[in-house]
Amino acid sequence: MKNREVADILRKTAQLLDIKGDNPYRIRAYERASQTIESLTKDVEELAREGKLETIPGIGADLANKIREILKTGTLSTFEELKKEIPPVLLTFLEIPGLGPKKVKVIYEKYGITSIEDLEKACLQHKIAKLPGFGFKTEENILKGIRLFRERTGRRPLGEVLPLAEEVVFLLRNRAPVIDIAIAGSIRRQKETVKDIDILITTQQAETTMKVVAELPLVEEIIALGDTKTSVRLRSGIQMDVRVVEPEAWGAALAYFTGSKAHNIRIRELALERGLKINEYGVFRGEERIAGRTEEEVYAVLGLPFIPPELREDRGEIEVALQGKLPQLVNYEDILGDGHVHSKYSDGSASLEEIILKAEALGLSWVAICDHSQGLKIAGGVPVEELWKKKKRIEELNNRSQKVKLIMGAEVDILSDGTLDYPDEVLKEIDFVIAGIHTGFQQDERQITFRLVSALKHPLVHAIAHPTGRVLGEREPYAVNMEEVLEAAKTYGKALEINAYYKRLDLNDIYVKASVEKGIPLIIGTDAHHVDQMDFLKLGVGVARRGWCEKKDLLNTLSYEKVIEWSKKHKS
Ligand code: DGT
Ligand code: CA
């Protein structure tokens, strides 16, 4: 057993004792022991084997016995007894900010509440405020805590999960006898947030492969271990399901587990109309499997071309596929530049030279250096004199650097009244002006929309940065009428950004699709404040593809010369 698991049982025991109202010294002893074991650099199992448990500071004979019991039986009888008295689900209540053991105890004893949903309901009915020692303020805090708890334990940004999934694939390719391996589910569809990691495998040796899965260094806990399906929880807290499928069903399983569910349902209807049956094992006419080996084959027998995973959301992709009118989605390889990178001139960590090197490594041919404008002091906004130095430096570097050109840009703050944070005579000298809202998020819809539309109308502005202002899991979009913003972008011929920073992805897929339909130019910008973050470009391409973007819809696919040409044309 790992130190973490032993510590976990000791901590939960302490918490249940606390909810029960047990002796504080006893509770404290379990708590301390849990913390000690958790922070131990040596393996607790090894210490037990060497008979050295008592040498751990704070672990006396009694606790040493308990630890030996945990190591031997996998649990603790005290803990098991407590679980009979107090529902262990109350332990999750303790993870809600604003709730401690004393309050959990009262809530449970008074109302017998054992689920977060019931707790929320009781708060909304003001039953919690009535309890002794609670009140309306506490009730409000609990509601806020429930929201935060849900965000924390709910969906994760794709940018956080994708690298984990890719590492798993890399490790399994190297360590296990896999033939085919692929990431399925929402990750394959490049959805902005994901619930879990879905992996599909074909192999001749299922048992061996699943053993390797269970022993991956990223795995924290095995939920279920089987020959066809293994579920684990990774250290980062996210669940991963790995399925082994037979080679004849690879394509059918990949299609099924890529989803989305809504897309699958439509596909199934289409199959039924043709007298066929489709499931994760194949497409069947009666008993006979007529397709299943590849996804292409599965779609083909339904009379469809291959539909890219990013489109599989039942947003009209099946209809246009039937008409043979699927969009030619933009590819990562089509991207020639990054439209939004911060340098040391504002709050970025990289020099212009470092940005050029990174761009070269990514195979890009241009980068727009968009540092913050003068008034945004907390983000190192660039004063006008500095801006001229930056411009001169960019010109020098562009004369020297052949492969990668820098574009003299600025991320100009749109002030509360809709005016811009540099005067026109300064803006005139900037080749890519991307305007964005960084303050006054609380203004009403009318004012926020007015600010964005004013910026779009401004003759020296080229684009709007992160148009809705949302930050995944942290900040809702500001109140804005996006229809008006899109209409203004179209009217004035301005671009909207697909901000590719992993927590923004703003515009989202829905607004990207709406922009494409209106013919509004889009530009992907990573908003990188560190060169590593320029890798987020891929996430931006994911959003673009989910929004049905073709090569022509993205300014990033233009050569440096063409972007400069576009920039001049759109500065009237
Ligand atoms: P999420 O929530 O980020 O995990 O999103 P998905 O799409 O990865 O959803 P997940 O992991 O629950 O299921 C993976 C795929 O399996 C899903 O996209 C479609 C398929 N699937 C799951 N449940 C059903 C179902 O009830 N009916 C059909 N037709 N397909 C399903
Ligand atoms: Ca999933």
CATH number for the domain harbouring residue 461: 3.20.20.140
Q: Per the domain annotation, does 317 fall within a domain?
A: yes
Residue nearest (by alpha carbon) to ligand 1 atom 1: 195
Same domain, 381 and 463: yes
Look at residue 153 and tell me whether its pLDDT is greater than 80.
Answer: no
DSSP structural state of residue 161: H
Give residue 174's domain range. 156-244
Give the C-alpha separation, 448 to 456, whole Å: 13
Same domain, 219 and 123: no
Give the C-alpha separation, 217 to 211, whole Å: 12
Same domain, 234 and 213: yes
Residue nearest (by alpha carbon) to ligand 1 atom 26: 261
Residue nearest (by alpha carbon) to ligand 1 atom 16: 257
At 572, the pLDDT band (50, 70, 90 cuts) reads low
Average pLDDT of every residue of the chain: 94
CA 89 to ligand 2 center in whole angstroms: 25
CA 332 to ligand 1 center in whole angstroms: 26
Instruction: Return the H-helix or E-strand segment holding 197.
Output: strand 196-203
Same domain, 394 and 485: yes
Same domain, 383 and 519: yes
Same domain, 147 and 21: yes
Residue nearest (by alpha carbon) to ligand 1 atom 30: 261
DSSP structural state of residue 420: B
Number of domains in the chain: 4
Look-up: residue for tokens 């449970």?
A: 108
Supply the pLDDT for residue 152: 67
Same domain, 519 and 464: yes
pLDDT digit string (tens) for 74-119? Answer: 889 999 999 888 887 788 888 887 788 889 999 998 998 888 888 9
DSSP structural state of residue 195: S
Supply the pLDDT for residue 2: 79
Domain end position, chosen among 191, 209, 244: 244
Same domain, 446 and 540: yes
CA 448 to ligand 2 center in whole angstroms: 36
Please write down the long-range contacts of 467-470, taking CB distance under 8 Å and 24 or more positions apart.
467/496, 467/497, 467/506, 467/507, 467/511, 468/506, 468/507, 468/508, 468/511, 469/437, 469/441, 469/506, 470/504, 470/506
CA 467 to ligand 2 center in whole angstroms: 28
Q: Which of 193, 261, 277 to mutate to test the pocket of ligand 1 (most atoms within 8 A of CB)?
A: 261
Same domain, 269 and 290: yes
For residue 260, the ligand 1 atom closest to its alpha carbon is: 18
Q: Per the domain annotation, does 72 fall within a domain?
A: yes
For residue 265, the ligand 1 atom closest to its alpha carbon is: 29
CATH number for the domain harbouring residue 298: 3.30.210.10
pLDDT digit string (tens) for 272-325? Answer: 999 999 999 999 999 999 999 999 999 999 999 999 999 999 999 999 999 999
CATH number for the domain harbouring residue 183: 3.30.460.10
Give the C-alpha separation, 17 to 15, whole Å: 5
Give the C-alpha separation, 380 to 362, whole Å: 27
Domain end position, chosen among 129, 152, 175: 152
The finding on whether 157 has its CB within 6 A of some atom of ligand 1 is no
The finding on whether 294 has its CB within 6 A of some atom of ligand 1 is no
Domain end position, chosen among 322, 341, 376: 322
Q: Per the domain annotation, does 207 fall within a domain?
A: yes
Q: Per the domain annotation, does 327 fall within a domain?
A: no
pLDDT digit string (tens) for 427-448? Answer: 999 999 999 999 999 899 999 9
Same domain, 20 and 148: yes
CA 282 to ligand 1 center in whole angstroms: 17
For residue 264, the ligand 1 atom closest to its alpha carbon is: 29
Give the C-alpha separation, 141 to 134, whole Å: 10
